[in-house]
Amino acid sequence: MHLIRYRIIQIVRQWSVMFWALAFPLILGTFFYISFGRGGMGEDMEEIPVAVVREGQGSVDTGAFMEFLEQMDGEILQVVQMGEKEAREALLGDEVVGIFYCHRRPSLTVAGLGISQSILKSLMDAYDKNEAMLTAVAQEHPENFPKAMAAMEQWQETTEDVDVKGKTLDPNITYFFALIAYACLSGAFLGVQSSLDSQADLSALGARRSVTPTHKLRLVLVDMVVLFFIHLINVLILTCYIQFVLGIDLGSDVASIVLVEWMGSMIGISIGILIGCIRGLGVGAKMGVCVLFTLFPGFLAGLMFGQMKDLVEHHCPLVNRINPAAVLSDAFYSISVYNDGERLIRSVGILSVMSVGMVLAAYLAVRRVRYDSI
């Protein structure tokens, strides 16, 4: 416990390293939020403002169409009745998205292209098709007209709510998943610094630790435990900041999220220790290699370009299987978007193999370091 306590103090006081491991991902997440916002995660669709111009107050067709719009009012549409001139001015001024004309033949006018305009067109098409169907039934089989009307009124009862357990998310959520994956790999900076603190030819602390009578295996285990603990806290701080401060919904399966972040932190720390053990490289060169091995996997996982992970998946899927940032991002998708247990198990399995392999390699690299004299 004495070794763990003072090792924590030593690592936390490395301000430049803690900046890259903790502060930089927080700053990057804030910039992402400013650029992309919360997206459409878990939010209800806003009502579409539309104008209604009525003509032929006594027409049966006009009354049926108005009843149709009133049913949509407050759910999908925000209906406001206006005169024709006022409605056109509101449309040109972007106060409304479209104008419904209640003539003998109802019609729709929009002034642009977009999702809201497409929804309005779909509603108009649905009304036209239902009207045509009822007209055909009335003309060809009038005896079945009451049944057709009853079926139209009760169509909602033929649908069944099914919980697919996923969420329809804004594509920009990719950046936040890639950011957490990058934050996990940023533990490499802590790993490099820890490796430098253990090498007598690179630091005074390393020289003192190399001549201590404490068994080297104990020092290595203390370093790994402390680094994993500190960096897991770093990643959890980032996750809580994204979830509770920025309001980005990352899912409710807390245990799975912590498990994935734990293994990601182990991979990041182990990569850093391996880089730190490379012989013949100075401190600056090792930090440069560390930047490469954190940013480039993050880039392939969609940190800078959200569609990059999908492009890699289509052209070279093997890269996504061996890229720890891509595997971490895929695991978060499995938890927060798809709720796909099989896909999550696959990602966790790959992360487990990577974690064990990286930890063993880091340990072997550290324990073989010997000095002729100090």
Q: What is the pLDDT of residues 112-128, one digit of tens each?
A: 777 788 888 888 888 77
Reading the block at residue 31, the tokens are: 């910039």
> Burial of 235 by CB count in 10 Å (0-12 exposed, 13-18 middle, 19+ buried)?
buried
Torsion angle (degrees, nearest 10) of CA 236, 242, 243, 249: -120
Reading the block at residue 222, the tokens are: 């203390």
Residue 137 domain-assigned? yes
pLDDT at site 74 = 73
How far, in Å, are 62, 147, 151, 215 from residue 139 at the CA level?
20, 14, 18, 95
Q: What is the CATH number of the domain that holds 58?
A: 3.40.190
- Its domain, for residue 259, covers 2-39+172-367
DSSP tag of 212: S
pLDDT at site 101 = 87
Residue 101 domain-assigned? yes
Q: What is the pLDDT of residues 3-20, one digit of tens each?
A: 888 888 888 888 888 898
Distance CA 84, CA 52 (A): 9
- The count of structural domains within the chain is 2
Residue 257 domain-assigned? yes
**Phi, psi at residue 77, to the nearest 5°?**
-110, 155
Asked if residue 164 has pLDDT above 50, the reply is no
Q: Which of 156, 184, 199 is the last residue of a domain?
A: 156
Average pLDDT over residues 289-308: 88
Tell me: do 32 and 70 sit in the same domain. Answer: no
In terms of pLDDT, which residue wins out, 248 or 40?
A: 248
Tell me: do 311 and 352 sit in the same domain. Answer: yes
Tell me: do 339 and 221 sit in the same domain. Answer: yes
Q: What is the pLDDT of residues 96-115, one digit of tens each?
A: 989 888 877 788 888 877 77
Reading the block at residue 63, the tokens are: 């009354």
The long-range contacts involving 42-48, CB below 8 angstroms and separated by at least 24 positions, are 42/167, 42/249, 45/76, 47/74, 47/75, 47/76, 47/77, 47/78, 48/76, 48/77, 48/78, 48/97, 48/98, 48/116, 48/119, 48/120
Tell me: do 134 and 226 sit in the same domain. Answer: no
Q: Out of 28-37, 291-300, 358-367, which region has the weakest mean confidence (pLDDT)?
A: 358-367
pLDDT at site 56 = 56
Residue 274 domain-assigned? yes
Tell me: do 350 and 253 sit in the same domain. Answer: yes
Q: Which of 125, 156, 187 is the last residue of a domain?
A: 156
Residue 285's contacts (CB-CB under 8 Å, 6 or more residues apart) are none
Strand partners, 79: 50
pLDDT at site 57 = 53
Mean pLDDT of the chain: 80
Tell me: do 309 and 332 sit in the same domain. Answer: yes
Residue 374 domain-assigned? no
Tell me: do 152 and 195 sit in the same domain. Answer: no
Q: Which of 156, 189, 208 is the last residue of a domain?
A: 156
Closest to 229 (Cα-Cα) out of 183, 266, 180? 266
Residue 167 domain-assigned? no
pLDDT at site 180 = 94
